[in-house]
Amino acid sequence: MSLVKRVVLWARQKSPWVLHFNTGACNACDIEIIAALTPRYDLERFGVQLKGTPRHADVLLCSGPVTHQIKDRLVRIYEQMAEPKFVVAIGTCACSGGVFQGCYNVESGIDQVLPVAAYIPGCPASPAAILDGVVKLLASLDPANAPKAEEAPKAEDPAVPA
Amino acid sequence: MDAQFVYQNLYDLFYMLVFPGLLFLIAFALFAEYVDRKLHARLQHRVGPPWFQPLADVIKLAAKEEMTPRLADRRMFLMAPLVALAATATAFLYIPTWKSDIRYHFEGDLILVLYMLTVPTVTFFLGGWYSRSVYSMIGAARAVMQLFAYEVPLFLCILGPALLANTWSISKMAAFYQVHPAFAALNILGLGVCLVALLGKLERVPFDIPEAETEIVAGSFTEYSGRLLAMLRLTIDLETIVGAALIAAVFLPFGLGLPAAAGFAVYLVKLLAVVCVLTVMRSIMARLRIDQMINLCWKVAAPLGVAQVLIDLVAKGYLPRGYLQ
């Protein structure tokens, strides 16, 4: 890896700005996301900042099983983000649809609509789990830490954290 | 070309681009942002970001994709951050550092610096307006409305000390107050109003009305991404340092005659002290509404600015003749 790439990778790992988007969740995961951003957990230690606009954000935190109503908005928000961008599915509903899986009005998981970089299961996912998921996502940006082909998580089991 | 000419030009380039010009300014501005965020975190009982955080933010943004909204005026959208950054960095060259006889100064550079510090706000307005997004346009309109409120008290408060020192040059003002430190005590009122006006200029809490993230997303900056956003963030950091340097030069005339190393240390401490005061203010206050902000500036800060001018005029009238020597 060249020096410039190394520096950019370092900067990316140290400065993930997040955007929080509710894709039809019951609000439990959203409350936990907000809790993770409070002074008690102090995510600014890792350079995490909550941003209001998709143009500034690097990571899209999604909670909820993606209702048909929200699907177009979710895709639109994702398209407004600048590359490189990552989607994190927070909560069991966002990972697989959870108890709403196969329901007539939902897409059953973020990965039915967008490419997901990290899955954080839990009902709701606790702030510590969210923190862990984000740290693992950042570590996975380094090609040296990329999972080898045989141990990559299987597509049909989205509940496995990346 | 003789050697002297080449040497002079090389030194000019070094002065403008490296020290105490652009490179030093950027490095110190990023450090000041770290101090600001760390102190803010400690006041909230948090650990806060590591020391390299502002640098990582800028590098990350510079390496990101850069987007222009389809409806935006591309030329204005691209020009705004560039002009803002250039104007702020230029203003810094005319402000005395740790000695009052700096390389670039002329009678009237005070007006130039104040003008250069107004340019970023105007370009934020233009950039936000030509983004053609609802949030940007509201933010842009608020930025200009706020400009009309804080600019007058700021100018009045710097006018007073300039009248007393009988010059329009910041360097000569600094030299004057270095010789007569007691006169600086007359300008304490102006120092307070200037700090409030600087909060407004930097769009920080309690005057972060133009970028109020709980109301209008990110104000003028809503549609900016990547390199352009990095430039805008850098502009605000630079503006903090330039504003602090201006306040230090006009109101805090200590340590200007010291030898280089000690003078430099005193200079950094003065600037960081101003930054810390701004941080404490943003940590302990909540955002005002735009009408409250304008009321405060026109009904309280502007009369105090006039009072500052009167104090300096009266003092000038009663001082013994020949005090300028």
- Record: contact A11-B63, CB cut-off 8 A: yes
Mutate to test the interface with A, among B33, B44, B64 (most CBs of A within 10 A): B64
DSSP assignments along B97-145, one per residue: -SSSS-SS--TTHHHHHHHHHHHHHHHHHHHHHHTT-HHHHHHHHHHHH
B81 in any annotated domain: yes
Q: Could you tell me the strand order of the sheet in which A49-50 lies?
A: A49-50, A17-22, A59-63, A86-90, A118-120
B57 in any annotated domain: no
B150 in any annotated domain: yes
A146 in any annotated domain: no
B130 in any annotated domain: yes
Indicate whether A4 pLDDT > 90.
no
**Mean pLDDT of the residues in chain B:** 85
A91 in any annotated domain: yes
Q: Considering its fold, how many domains does chain B have in total? A: 1
- pLDDT on residue B1: 62
A85 lies in which domain range? 10-138
Q: Considering its fold, how many domains does chain A have in total? A: 1
Tens digits of residue pLDDT in B27-85 = 989 999 999 999 999 998 888 899 889 999 999 998 888 888 888 888 888 888 899 99
> Which residue of B44, B55, B213 is in closest CB contact with A39?
B44
Indicate whether B296 pLDDT > 60.
yes
Share of residues in chain B with pLDDT > 90 (%)? 13
Tens digits of residue pLDDT in A103-152 = 888 888 888 888 888 889 888 888 989 888 888 888 888 777 766 555 55
Which value does ipTM take for this structure?
0.78
A154 in any annotated domain: no
B23 in any annotated domain: no
A29 in any annotated domain: yes
- pLDDT on residue B36: 92
CATH code for the domain in which residue A95 is found: 3.40.50.12280
- pLDDT on residue B34: 92
B277 in any annotated domain: yes
B281 in any annotated domain: yes
A147 in any annotated domain: no
Torsion of Cα atoms, B248 then B249 then B252 then B258, to 10° = 110
Structural element, H or E, at residue A87: strand A86-90
A98 in any annotated domain: yes
B7 in any annotated domain: no
A128 in any annotated domain: yes
B276 lies in which domain range? 65-317
**Residue ranges of chain A whose CB lies within 8 Å of a chain B CB:** 7-8, 10-12, 14-15, 39, 42, 44-45, 47, 51-53, 55-56, 58, 80, 82-84
Give chain A's radius of gyration (CA, Å).
Answer: 15
Tens digits of residue pLDDT in B160-201 = 888 888 888 888 888 888 777 777 778 888 888 999 888 888
